[in-house]
Structure 1
């Protein structure tokens, strides 16, 4: 049995474990037609349909980039974690139970997938002249920085949802809800300036952590570092006011706060779970040792009184161990 466990990973080094899970996660994603369809094709289909029907749109491209990341880093990434737990793969590889290496491998795989969807989305968008004309106006520093923070936030949300979850199916439904909120209320299904007209929806979205950094990505795409942008459509002036003090660093700092908080809570829970697992493992071994000693002593007994004395001692020790 031990040889079969070691067959999964020949080298026990941390990097080898990360590489194994990176390869496992990446191949399982790209060999799944469903994941590729909803993770890539649907996003690109929405993008092309919108750009074909609207000659100029300032926000659909960054919105599609963010929605694609949310799809791949909450719903599909959480689904992958769910399948990992249900497959009990970690239980078949004995020496990785106490390391974060598998989760680092999953993260790196997800990062690669997101880089691909971002490049495909931008490459597809710049086929259209209306989007190529915007190239010179993009604030690339805030755009790339915002995308990186969004990925870190989504990863921390997915892991916290996963590690605190007792019902994986219910948590998976929550991850789908995250995606639906992003599509409909962050500027993909409907333009963001339309969402802003409904104050109750816009105010409610402040409770949705990705909103802050998604707004940064959208604003940086039109170089609106003051979070205020005006454009003309059908000879009508349309203003987009993201609010938040008209300072792009406010939503950035809020997002960093969310990342640190969720990461801390996730690692804390992971450590608590490991301590409990280690305690249970020691307790089981202690009980097994008591049972072995009990059987040996019973075999050496010559009278019924000796058996009763040993039995009572065993019962007392067993109760003490199991009560800890």
Structure 2
């Protein structure tokens, strides 16, 4: 039994890797944008001396010292939400799930295999971003204050929530082009509203805080805020350090002393996403077969599965696979 599951796990890893190779542009475009933004903030930073008579010149790029955590968070949204939704929808329209779920392979195990690959791929990308940022002295200095428990906890929660919502979008949206529109719109908006494209210091200090209010719409804001706080080494969200034109100043990222909000909202989002995923998989891949066949007292679930597959088989090879899978 364990050997069989291990074989399925390896096959799923290979299958998804080959899919990524066929879609290199889709997989790495978002990552490229993230690296460019991170490079811009870390490289083109001009500190003007306080005593410089020309310090009022617009030469200073103001950025958040937790910019690396923001970049890692945005890349996680790309990999675990956008790419997850893309590959899951591709599998769905090819009837991969209908055929597989009708066999003896566990739905949970299959989803876990796909999520595991996505998480491993995301960790590799995050590590590359981290190593890139370590080329800068300012980012190496930040490591002394990082609370790794908070940061990694927020990172894992963000990745899991993105995975769950990505799977939901893949199953809920019928057309592939609409999946791409929804996920790309969400990704690019997140880039500029969640601390990478536009620093939180700029969002907080602007006269009209409409962009800050919009940022609360994004579910990923809350686990990403935990990551950003962990990078600064504490649970607070209103005394985050930011390099200003003259000094290191305190900024907030929009919770005004209510430090419980990101943690509670993140926990609720995770629970909601789990329930949503359970509902949509059951509604699409179980109830249909039950209503058609298992309403007859003498038709077992295994027989219903086999009838379901036989009805949709179109080639001799598919019939052979059904026979092998059903024993």
The answer, yes or no, to whether TM exceeds 0.5 is yes
Evaluate the alpha carbon distance shift between residue 37 and residue 274 of structure 1 in structure 2; reply closer, same or farther with a 3 A threshold. Answer: closer
Using the size of structure 1 for normalisation, the TM-score is 0.76
Q: Which residue of 2 aligns with 1:318?
A: none
Which structure is richer in relative contact order (CA contacts within 8 A, separation 6 or more)? 2
Pair 1:210 & 2:220 matched: yes
Q: Deviations over 1:268-301 (max 9, x none)?
A: 2212333322225517999xxxxxxxxxxxxxxx
- Structure number with greater Rg is 1
Q: Deviations over 1:161-192 (max 9, x none)?
A: 22323344323311112101111111111212
Q: Deviations over 1:256-276 (max 9, x none)?
A: 110101111210221233332
Contact 2:191 2:197 in 1 (8 A): yes
Aligned match for 2:202, one of 194, 208, 217? 194
Q: Which residue of 2 aligns with 1:54?
A: 45
Q: Which residue of 2 aligns with 1:240?
A: 251
Aligned-residue Cα RMSD (Å) equals 2.8
Contact 2:64 2:200 in 1 (8 A): no
Q: Which residue of 2 aligns with 1:312?
A: none
* Structure 2 gap segments, 5+ residues each: 47-62, 298-327
Contact 1:64 1:188 in 2 (8 A): yes
Evaluate the alpha carbon distance shift between residue 158 and residue 96 of structure 1 in structure 2; reply closer, same or farther with a 3 A threshold. Answer: farther
Contact 2:200 2:253 in 1 (8 A): no
Pair 1:70 & 2:77 matched: yes
Aligned partner of residue 216 in structure 2, secondary structure: helix
Q: CA deviation at 1:237?
A: 5.7
Which stretch shifts more, 188-197 or 41-50? 41-50
Q: Distance in 1 between matches of 2:72 and 2:111?
A: 24
Using the size of structure 2 for normalisation, the TM-score is 0.76
* Structure 1 gap segments, 5+ residues each: 1-9, 287-324
Q: Which residue of 2 aligns with 1:177?
A: 185
Evaluate the alpha carbon distance shift between residue 96 and residue 47 of structure 1 in structure 2; reply closer, same or farther with a 3 A threshold. Answer: farther
May I ask how many residue pairs the two structures share in their alignment? 278
Q: Which residue of 2 aligns with 1:157?
A: 165
